[in-house]
Chains A and B, each alone.
Chain A
Amino acid sequence: MISSDVIRGYNDTMILYMLLEGESYGYEISKNIRRLSQEKYVMKETTLYSAFTRLEKNGCISSFHKDGEAGKRRTYYRITEEGRAYYREKCIEWQLTQEVVNTFIKE
């Protein structure tokens, strides 16, 4: 299990990644993050919804209501242009962070 302190700065990046290919809703996003991380990272509910709130406030995502499968009405999220730009920035930032930190990692 990964310490949430370390990963905190990249929760938003993961959510944006999940939305790059199309709109999605809370549970689907959280489930896919778990699956892609091979069960190594589970995003807490409150972390997920804090991120939604923050990203929506910053204009990186927008939300809307839609009837999902089985007729259940859900809040869906979709990435905006700002969101894509922010995602690219975060990717570059991570490359750099990784390079720097890697310098100090032995084994």
Chain B
Amino acid sequence: MDVLKAYLDSLFAAWPRSDQVLALKREMLDTMEDKYEELKRDGKSEHEAIGIVISEFGSIDELMDELGIVPSAASGNIPVLTEETVQGYETVVRRSSRLQALGWLLVLFGVAAMVLIAAWNENGVLGGISENTGYLLAVIAAFVLGVPAIGLFIASGSGKEKYRVLGEDFELSAGTRANVERRKETFRPVRVRSIVTAACLGTVSPAAVLVAAVRGESQTPYGAAVMLALLGIVIFLFVYSGGIEAGYQKLLQLGEYTPEKKEENRVIGRIAAVVWPLALIVFLVSGFGYERWDVNWLVFPVTAVLFGAIGGVYGMRHKPKQKA
């Protein structure tokens, strides 16, 4: 009986889906169906039968009191986010992910442009200007692309203050939660495509350096510029799709956003803020200073592996503490 099932579903929607609750719900549905069938056999119409069954259902609160269960949303002083708040937050997250992703794209394109112009300069492609002017041009190119990036990073933070509550304890009503889950599901194909594209580009990007190196030592910086530009697209895709995914996870309090994980992420975030710029500096110095474009790109995969290891060790060391 679909009507009875829908009725029970709506009544149970606000309650946690524990095994006990689900078993009880199933059993109650059986009983209600038995009753419905018997009323029908006694000559009642479908409508009458359903009316009687529902009128004799009773109060779901009575049952949950007995089970000692509190509703999943509405447990006292934890704020419950409204649908408008949630949608507002999703809009802000989309916007800020886009701005951040664009910012990173510009930064990497800026560095790529700098490497490219410096290489032209060294190979004498730039024509009649002095070598110093050439290097100056390279730095200017990096700034022209890099400075707007800073603006984008700053702008990406605005509008988020309103949603500080998401960093603390909050709850969603069952209906809102279902809506968020649906929207997260709609976004999934975009995210999967982004990750696959980014991973392919990222894996292929060092090939640019290798190909360039094979064509001659003077060509290597061109390869480095191409690789940096490709990495810019990789980071764009990761930051954009990852930011939106993180927004959904934050709303649903999944994965990285369970209370225990929040602390771990803060620490790892601080390490990342130091490690990655350091890697970029090593890359640029070894490239411009020592002309080692052929091997210095390795600093990025090495940093990624080391960084993953640091995160793993931190996670392992802090697990027992959480349990206590």
A binds B: yes
- A14 contacts the other chain (CB 8 A): no
Within 8 A of B (CB), among A14-49: 25-27, 30-31, 42, 44-49
Residues of A within 8 A of B22 (CB): none
CA–CA, A75 to B65, complex, Å? 22
Residue of A nearest to B8 (CB): A45
- A90 contacts the other chain (CB 8 A): no
Give the residue of A45, A49, A53, A72 whose beta carbon is less than 8 angstroms from that of B56: A45
CA–CA, A46 to B59, complex, Å? 6
CB within 8 Å for A75 and B27 given contacts A45-B32, A45-B58: yes
Give the residue of B30, B32, B38, B66 whose beta carbon is less than 8 angstroms from that of A50: B66
The majority secondary structure among interface residues of chain A is: helix
CA–CA, A27 to B66, complex, Å? 20
Residues of A within 8 A of B30 (CB): 26-27, 72, 74-75
Taking the closest CB of chain A, its distance from the CB of B67, in whole angstroms, is 6
* Interchain CB contact under 8 A, B58 and A27: no
The majority secondary structure among interface residues of chain B is: helix
- B31 contacts the other chain (CB 8 A): yes
- B28 contacts the other chain (CB 8 A): yes
Residue of B nearest to A44 (CB): B58
**Chain A 56-92 near chain B by CB (<8 Å), digits 1 or 0:** 0000000000000000101100000000000000000
* Interchain CB contact under 8 A, B27 and A47: no
CB within 8 Å for A46 and B60 given contacts A26-B27, A53-B24, A54-B66: yes
CA–CA, A52 to B24, complex, Å? 10
CA–CA, A69 to B59, complex, Å? 30
* Interchain CB contact under 8 A, B24 and A48: no
Taking the closest CB of chain B, its distance from the CB of A65, in whole angstroms, is 10
Residue of A nearest to B52 (CB): A42
* Interchain CB contact under 8 A, A44 and B59: yes
* Interchain CB contact under 8 A, B31 and A46: no
Give the residue of A27, A49, A54 whose beta carbon is less than 8 angstroms from that of B35: A27
- B168 contacts the other chain (CB 8 A): no
**Max count, chain B CB within 10 A of own CB: residue among A27, A45, A74:** A45
Taking the closest CB of chain A, its distance from the CB of B220, in whole angstroms, is 72
* Interchain CB contact under 8 A, A31 and B38: yes
Residue of B nearest to A30 (CB): B31
Within 8 A of A (CB), among B220-274: none
Q: A27-B30, A46-B28 given. 12 additional CB < 8 A pairs?
A: A26-B27, A26-B31, A42-B56, A44-B57, A44-B59, A45-B32, A46-B57, A49-B27, A49-B28, A53-B67, A74-B30, A75-B30
**A residues lining the B interface (CB < 8 Å):** 25-27, 30-31, 42, 44-50, 53-54, 72, 74-75
